[in-house]
Structure 1
Amino acid sequence: MDESDTAAIIPRDVLNAASADDLLPEDSVHKDQADERSSRPPRPPFTCPLPVSVQPVLFLSMFSLTLQAPLSTQYLWDRISEDLGYNGSKRSECSNGSAPLDPLQKEVETLTAHWNLYISLGGFSVGLLVVPLMGSWSDLAGRRPILILANLGLTLQAVVYLVVMYLKLPVVWFLVGRLLSGLSGDFNSVLAGCFAYVADTSDRRSRTFRVAVLEACLGLSGMLASIIGGQWRQAQGYINPFWLVLATSLASALYTYLFVRESVLPDPSAVLFTTRHYKSVWHLYSAGGCSSESSESLHRSKLWLYTLCFFLVVTVHCGSRELYVLYELSSPLCWGPALIGYGSAAQHLAYLSSLLGLKIMQYCLEDSWVAVIGLISNITGLVVFSVANTTALMFTGYGLCFLLMTATPVLRSKLSKLVDPSEQGALFASVACVESLCFLVGSSVFNSLYPATLHFMKGFPFLFASIILLIPCGIIGTLQCVHQRRGHIESTPS
């Protein structure tokens, strides 16, 4: 019987095991080197010369999203106005005219708001199913695939929107584009992948600041997109700016493929469509994950409490942010476009001032106390907004919110430290879904509260937001006090 017959009868793994024992010393060295290479994540085709990793991915994706949102809303307004034969413009109570509101304008406003709601709910509903699936899958398959897929989905959405604008298709096709993006993970998968990547590549000490850098990228990108999009839309309409939306989404996917090094050793057998990924997400909050805490129930409680804090903080951010422009446009402030632009810039600059403040405070304070100080900054600013009746007072509120964004990176970091390194994708996918829920809840609650309280206090929604923030402030402070007390007891000799 020749060698080929033997190989056909004896299993391949047996032959491999036998041949491994007979390797020469130099062959063993080569085998060890091959095993070491196989235990490393694959390298991308190119190496980025700058000291960055996924920051450009999040920056470009956020730029695309921020540029797209107002353009699509304004297109819906103009398209619905054209279909209904309405040629007027929106009036404000600061205008000199005293004519009653045009019923046709009211219908245009209602239909635009409804379509915005349908598109947001459609993306959220699909994302609620897809994002946890992809986030948990990334713990096995790697972070690069979900970042590429999600950005390609955003690119496809931009393509659909451009086709709708060129061909003047029914606005229902906007919903179709949003659903296609949701099926590939949407922007929430980009968030989950980027934050999980930072958790993979940072130690516990530096993680909070690394997360804060990513959040600063969100703020800076949003500020630039708001400035560029408004000016470009006024000069050239919708279509040319939307080509930039498509280009930045595609550039984010290409950058990920070409330059981002994988942070997880991919498992070739990882399957995307399986209920195992949903079970992994459920396991985080039911079993508490892996931790060094002595009490599993305490660990699970902290996971739920920090998630609740994150939900409340982001809901207030999303809900109050939508009221700033409306509050500034109306009496008694009656701001014009220039002042509104300065206010928006001041709001986005809080991302950078929060990053600097967090870095400085970390030298002398625990992360929890940094978050509490950030929440106090936010609370005082909101209280000033609630009574602001002059431009100076409004900008004073913006100034007091200079540590606005220190709480969310601390909460993301604390949640990340409560789970096993192999569960970071599942965790941040859950956090991204919570963030989408925050947007829907915050938008619904605050946009309903504002007109309902105009008759007794115009700034009441801001006061309400400041009261809500007292809850996470108390929870974070209490958990830190409990932690310090337990550490003191354990360090005290018996």
Structure 2
Amino acid sequence: MAALPSGVARAAPEEGVPAPPSAPSCWRPRAVEPVLLLATLALGVQSPLLTQYLWARLANGTGPGSAGGGSNGCANGSGAGHPGGQQGVESSVAHWNLYINLAGFFVGLFSVTLFGPWSDSVGRRPVLILPALGMALQAAAYLLVMYLELPVGYLLVGRILSGLSGDYNLILAGCFAYVADVSDKHSRTFRVAVLEACLGLAGMAASIIGGQWYKAEGYLAPFWLVFVASSCTALYAAFCLRESVLQRRSGRLFTLRHYAAVCRLYVDPGRGRAWKKLALYSLAFFLVVTVHFGTGDILVLYELSSPLCWGSDLIGYGSATRYLSYLTSLAGLWLLQKFVADTWVAELGLLSNVLGLGVIALAATTPLMFTGYGLLFLSRAATPVIRSKLSKLVDETEQGALFAAVACTEGLCSLVATGVFNSLFPASLPFMKGFPFLFGVCLLLVPAAILGWIEMQDSKPEYSHFEDMPSPVQEAAD
């Protein structure tokens, strides 16, 4: 079966159900990047400021709307109002981060798995609109907690509302599925890398804006930006973005068929050896993203407390430097693809991760901390390579189910990363504060071994045909 041209819908109508005529709006762009830019801007402003808000509330009950966030982290978190002192504050904040993330995960995991395959029927735009609205509701709930100085437990309400609508993970899944719809196999790796570079561009802007704005005006104004950016994401997806699935059809949302479509990717006996590569690449992706999420969760706490004692401005610059690695990784991927295979680019990205996290684990001064951030310059090159390889292993009609599975994996990454790293950080404070980063270094050795082993197996003559092996659907058609 010949591959469909780029930009043509790949979803076929259900048997017995006619596909309604579609009238695409030619004036609408196919650029899904603004959706990811705006959503990441909202998340990038919110995440570090929420940690600092919890720090201030749990340490001494500082009013949430007040300015004066520019004092250093140790001064803010001295723990005057907390019985455990600074270590008690660190432990409490880490645990509340865990509770908030768990609340969103347990509802978000099932939502993403439902909405992802559903998008193969109804189109990609609905699964971009719904989670953006959920993020706006979450920001509104957080603002109510801050204005009324409600107990921090009420933050869980906003997190659950966002999780019910699919949360940020569904936006990621919808955007990557959209790119798979409008790209071919040869350009997919770079297109995915461009999309991931949008994460860095928006995150870098969010880090600088959030830190400086909080320093000048307190928490409330930046969180209003979160609400506006999330709302604009939904409006762009609803009124400006062209649908990539043209042959849309009505489909039930609450059905087990969506879960079955995801499961078939890994249990279909007709896939031959390809299912093993799917499982191994998924495991590698899981470990890499878990380390990214886990170390990112604790970085703000690591910087706030001694010996670094960073204030909100330095935290913003540090986060911007970390997000810059998305752009440098894109440039590195574009350059290295001219000389080596994608797998070896991913291996170099993992090496960059190992070196950067190793230095951060031992950083006791600001220059050394920024050195660690600098060594992460290629750290984001591994994930677009793995996403692209996963996409190439399945049929073109299964991209929606695949990226639903990837989104499910990312949700599991968030759960494991939050549970492990936010629990490990307070537990390791008495003997080595940077131990969680060294633990992340050890975890990254496993995906490095997996990617290298698959590449060496594919380079052998008896395995080299697997990359372009036709699917059972294609064989039946031929």
**Bucket of the pairwise TM-score, normalised by the shorter protein:** 0.7 to 0.9
2:42 aligned with 1:67, yes or no? no
Contact 1:44–1:259 (Cα < 8 Å) also in 2: no
What residue number does 2:105 align with? 124
Partner letter of residue 349 of structure 1?
L
Label 1:239 to 1:120 Cα distance change in 2 as closer, same or farther (>3 A): same
Q: What's the RMSD between the two structures over aligned residues?
A: 3.5
SS at match of 1:260: coil
> Which has the higher mean CA deviation after the structures are superposed, 381-390 or 108-117?
108-117
Give me the TM-score of the superposition, normalised by structure 2: 0.82
Q: Per-residue CA shift, 1:183-218, capped at 9, x if unaligned?
A: 221211111100000011111111111111111111
Q: Measure, in 2, the Cα distance between the counterparts of 1:299 and 1:391.
A: 47
User: Mapping of 1:291-306 within 5 angstroms?
Assistant: 296-306=271-281
1:444 maps to 2:422 = no
Give 1:53's aligned amino acid.
Answer: A
Question: Residue 477 in 1 paired to residue 452 in 2?
Answer: yes
Q: Are 1:152 and 2:120 an aligned pair? A: no
Alignment of 1:86-485 (within 5 A): 102-103=82-83, 112-287=93-268, 296-329=271-304, 333=308, 335=310, 339-454=314-429, 457-485=432-460
Q: Compare 441-450 and 128-137 and name the one that shifted more.
A: 441-450
Residues 144-181 of structure 1 show CA distances to partners (whole Å, capped at 9, x for unaligned) of 11111221222222233334444455544432222222
CA distance in 2 between counterparts of 1:458 and 1:168 reads 32
What SS does the corresponding residue of 1:136 show, helix, strand or coil?
A: helix
Aligned CA distance change for structure 1 residues 138 and 463 (closer, same or farther; 3 Å): same
Distance 1:466 1:40, change over 3 A: farther
Structure showing greater relative contact order (alpha-carbon pairs closer than 8 Å, 6 or more residues apart): 2
Gap change, CA 1:330 and 1:469, over 3 Å in 2 = same
Q: Which amino acid aligns with 2:118?
A: W
Q: In 2, are the aligned partners of 1:132 and 1:429 still within 8 Å (CA)? A: yes
**For residue 7 of structure 2, what is the aligned residue in structure 1?**
none
Equivalent position SS for 1:103: coil
Identify if the C-alpha distance between structure 1 residues 458 and 176 changes in structure 2 by more than 3 Å, giving closer, same or farther: closer
1:355–1:406: 8 Å Cα contact kept in structure 2?
Answer: yes
1:344 and 1:379 mapped to 2: Cα distance? 18
Instruction: Name the CA distance, whole Å, in 2 between partners of 1:329 and 1:80.
Output: 14
2: CA distance between counterparts of 1:340 and 1:75? Answer: 14
Distance in 1, matches of 2:211 and 2:72, equals 20
CA shift in 2, pair 1:305/1:110, >3 Å: same
Distance 2:62 2:300 in 1: 27
Distance (whole Å) between structure 1 residues aligned to residue 390 and residue 384 of structure 2 = 10
CA deviations over 1:326-350 (Å, ceiling 9, x no partner)? 4445555555555544433321111
One-letter amino acid of the counterpart of residue 215, structure 2: Q
SS in 2 for 1:486: coil
The change in CA–CA distance for 1:312 and 1:273 in structure 2 (over 3 A counts) is same
- Tell me how far apart the structure 1 counterparts of residues 81 and 219 of structure 2 sit (CA, whole Å): 27
Task: Give the stretch that moved more between structures: 335-344 or 276-285.
Answer: 335-344
Q: Which residue is equivalent to 1:9? A: none
Taking the aligned partners of 2:53 and 2:362, their CA distance within structure 1 comes to: 34
Alpha carbons of structure 1 residues 154 and 364: separation in structure 2 relative to 1, 3 Å:
same
| Contact 2:289–2:410 (Cα < 8 Å) also in 1 | yes
Tell me the equivalent position of 2:32: 54
With 107-116 and 416-425 compared, the bigger mean Cα shift is at 107-116
Give the gaps of 5 or more residues in structure 2: 1-18, 467-478
Structure 1 contact 122–179 (Cα < 8 Å) conserved: yes
Aligned amino acid, residue 120 of structure 1: N
Query: For 2:74 and 2:234, how far apart are their aligned partners in 1?
Result: 45
Structure 1: how far apart are the matches of 2:389 and 2:109?
Answer: 23
**C-alpha offsets along residues 295-345 of structure 1, whole Å, 9 cap, x if unaligned?**
x34211111100100111111112223344444455555555555444333
Distance (Å, rounded) in 1 between the aligned partners of 2:350 and 2:90: 35
Deviations, residues 248-293 of structure 1 (Å, cap 9, x unaligned): 11111111122211111343331111111111111111117x8xxx
From the superposition, tell whether residues 166 and 464 of structure 1 become closer, same or farther in structure 2 (CA, over 3 Å): closer
Is the contact made by 1:150 and 1:181 (CA closer than 8 Å) also made in structure 2?
Answer: yes
Cα deviation for residue 423 of structure 1 reads 1.9
Distance 1:127 1:266 in 2: 28
Deviation at 1:115, TM superposition (A): 4.0
Find the aligned partners of 2:276 and 2:25 in 1 and give their Cα distance.
40
Residue by residue over 1:66-97, the C-alpha shift from the partner in whole angstroms, topping out at 9 and shown as x without a partner, is: 22234444445555678799x9x9x99977x9
Q: Percent identity?
A: 57
Compare CA radii of gyration and give the structure with the larger one. Answer: 1
Per the TM alignment, residue 456 of structure 1 is displaced from its structure 2 partner at its CA by 5.0
Kept after mapping to 2: 8 A contact 1:133/1:272: yes
Unaligned ranges ≥5, structure 1 = 1-37, 291-295
